[in-house]
Amino acid sequence: MGQDSPLLALRAVSKDFYGNVVLQDVSFDLRAGEILGLVGENGAGKTTLMSILFGMPVIAETGGFKGSILIDGQEVHFGSPFDALDAGIGMVHQEFSLIPGFTTTENIVLNRESMRPSILNEVFGDRMSILDRSDMKKRSESAIAKLGVNLDPGMLVSEMPVGHKQFTEIAREISRKATRILVLDEPTAVLTESEADVLLATLKRLSSEGIAIIFISHRLKEVVDIADRIVVLRDGHAVKDVPAKGVSVRDIASWMVGRSMTDAAAASKDKLFGAEILSVEHLWVDMPGETVRDVSIRVRQGEILGIGGLAGQGKLGIPNGVMGLYPSGGVVTLQGKAVPLNEPRTALKAGMAFVSEDRRGVGLLLDESLDWNIAFTAMQIHGQYLKKIAGGLFTQRDEAGMKKLCEEYIQLLDIKCTGTKQKAKELSGGNQQKICLAKAFAMKPELLFVSEPTRGIDVGAKRLVLDTLRHYNRDYGTTIVMVSSELEELRSICDRIAIVDEGRIAGILPPTADIADFGLLMAGMKVDTTAEVANA
């Protein structure tokens, strides 16, 4: 017994959502006092795995999972998070699950408050007990002391800095007497470096007290520093399970992203690029969840520039900011002319177009017909598809012109629909994406921003969308800036790929660069980017 039998063991855990496999035969052990670093790209299955471990109802609702979970060698079945809590698993979520209007103490002991019997108990039972505030305070203080941080037990959560909120969550989990396993999902994502250091030190101390910790992070350096063992998930498989000793950040990065290289990557060899078409200097964008802090980047005429990076690092903020959809600042110059920010109209007029990542929210008029969807922006910005009446006194929509334009794109992009008057909401995701592209192409842009063009569409449509982009770039010389979280996709189509980390450009690499370098950039590590590519 003791150190030899694992505290927690996952055996061949598999999970699919309606046929879409997200986890396949994942197995690993966790011993008492061990820190396990769990890493993987977005969509590798980390969150799903934790949901299974924690008995989240979403798993049961979508058909349960295969495989088994063992605690102390006994197979367990969690019907709900409460069962997981009883079994001694504490979880600190990515999003804070704290009540803002309650104090630290109240949040830590929530639903486990110390009670004193009152006279009403005689009549109404335990529900009428009185809170024992002094004991609650004592308990929360002891939990905070165990963490070794400085938290005010009486402070309201809403008035706390983010770091303190994170500590409050951890304190809540460890204040449960039974907690033996602590799961932390991206605990350092919102913390400053010094706060993160304190947190890591705290975790080390907790593990020395015998608490087993599963530590999920994108910051690979932290993982290497703190973890005893590292499990790497990739496309739902646990591809590596190794002791952390001797593992370098570079190794982890290449395990994370290391797919076999696909075709077409080197197609850009013989391409010639024109002068600089777009320059962005010190751009900041206040886009919730995708904050851009300081981005400077240059785009050459005729190239396809890829922007990659992990979710929430700010890659989506760049096109949204340049196109004026979110408050932003900095200097954007298109073909030598400055483009004022925060004004979608001027950005469009200057010759830029944008295919939004939020297809249904921003990209389409779901309740309107396809010809409207495609022609609208060109009509409003360039005054096309309008007929002048009474000597230009007022205008009327040119329905025939809109229909012709729409039919053109239906044929060109192979859009599956019943006709130009079909409502956009009735199309499938892939065809909706093609409508969004058609809308942008109808603007005849000099520079096209495409954001997550293949998100949520099937493989065939993906291929067509990418081919269309390539075709427009090659045959019409449209410069394209493509933002995507799928690195392979970027590598297959782009001439250069910029990786964004924490709202800044971490580096620019050619698509042929070593896959590990991309992984390192995503993890916020320095990579020696070759000078010619970076400056080009």
Query: Which stretches of the chain bind other proteins, using CB under 8 A?
Result: 323, 325, 343-349, 354, 356, 358, 361-368, 372, 376-377, 379-381, 383, 386, 394-397, 425
Pull the structure tokens for residue 72.
């102390």
3-state secondary structure at position 465: helix
Q: Residue 389 CB, nearest distance to other proteins (Å)?
A: 8
Q: Residue 20 CB, nearest distance to other proteins (Å)?
A: 25
Q: Residue 462 CB, nearest distance to other proteins (Å)?
A: 23
371 vs 495 by CB, closer to other proteins = 371
278 vs 402 by CB, closer to other proteins = 402
Q: Residue 493 CB, nearest distance to other proteins (Å)?
A: 24
Q: Residue 523 CB, nearest distance to other proteins (Å)?
A: 32
Q: Residue 454 CB, nearest distance to other proteins (Å)?
A: 20
Q: Residue 332 CB, nearest distance to other proteins (Å)?
A: 16
In single-letter form, the type of residue at position 301 comes to: Q
364 vs 465 by CB, closer to other proteins = 364
Pull the structure tokens for residue 133.
């505030």
What b/e string do you get for 267-294 counting C-beta neighbours within 10 Å, with b at 16 or more?
Answer: ebeeeebeeebbbbeebbbebeebbbee
168 vs 369 by CB, closer to other proteins = 369
Sheet hosting strand 74-76, strand order edge to edge: 20-30, 8-17, 66-71, 74-76
Q: Report how far residue 286's alpha carbon sits from residue 324's, in angstroms, rounded to the nearest whole number.
A: 11
Give the H or E element holding residue 401: helix 399-412
381 vs 533 by CB, closer to other proteins = 381
Residue with tokens 């460890």: 174
Instruction: Tell me if 295 sits within 8 A of 256, measured CB to CB.
Output: no
Minimal CA–CA distance to 532: which of 505, 513, 504? 513
Number of other residues whose CB lies within 10 A of the CB of residue 118: 11
- Residue 429 Cα distances to 323, 434, 453, angstroms: 24, 9, 11
Pull the structure tokens for residue 485.
């979280």
- Give the torsion sign (CA, 350, 353, 358, 359): positive
Q: Residue 378 CB, nearest distance to other proteins (Å)?
A: 9
First to last CA, the chain: 61
Q: Report how far residue 384's alpha carbon sits from residue 402's, in angstroms, rounded to the nearest whole number.
A: 9
Q: Report how far residue 476's alpha carbon sits from residue 479's, in angstroms, rounded to the nearest whole number.
A: 9
What b/e string do you get for 19-47 counting C-beta neighbours within 10 Å, with b at 16 or more?
Answer: eeebbbebebbbbbbbbbbbbbbebbbbb
78 vs 449 by CB, closer to other proteins = 449
130 vs 381 by CB, closer to other proteins = 381
Instruction: Tell me if 378 sits within 8 A of 390, measured CB to CB.
Output: no
Torsion of CA 308, 282, 436, 480, to 10 degrees: -70
Q: Residue 347 CB, nearest distance to other proteins (Å)?
A: 8
Q: Residue 375 CB, nearest distance to other proteins (Å)?
A: 9
Q: Residue 325 CB, nearest distance to other proteins (Å)?
A: 6
26 vs 350 by CB, closer to other proteins = 350
Q: Where are the beta strands (DSSP E) in 423-526?
A: 447-451, 479-483, 496-501, 504-509
134 vs 380 by CB, closer to other proteins = 380
Q: Residue 151 CB, nearest distance to other proteins (Å)?
A: 38
273 vs 376 by CB, closer to other proteins = 376
232 vs 350 by CB, closer to other proteins = 350
387 vs 463 by CB, closer to other proteins = 387
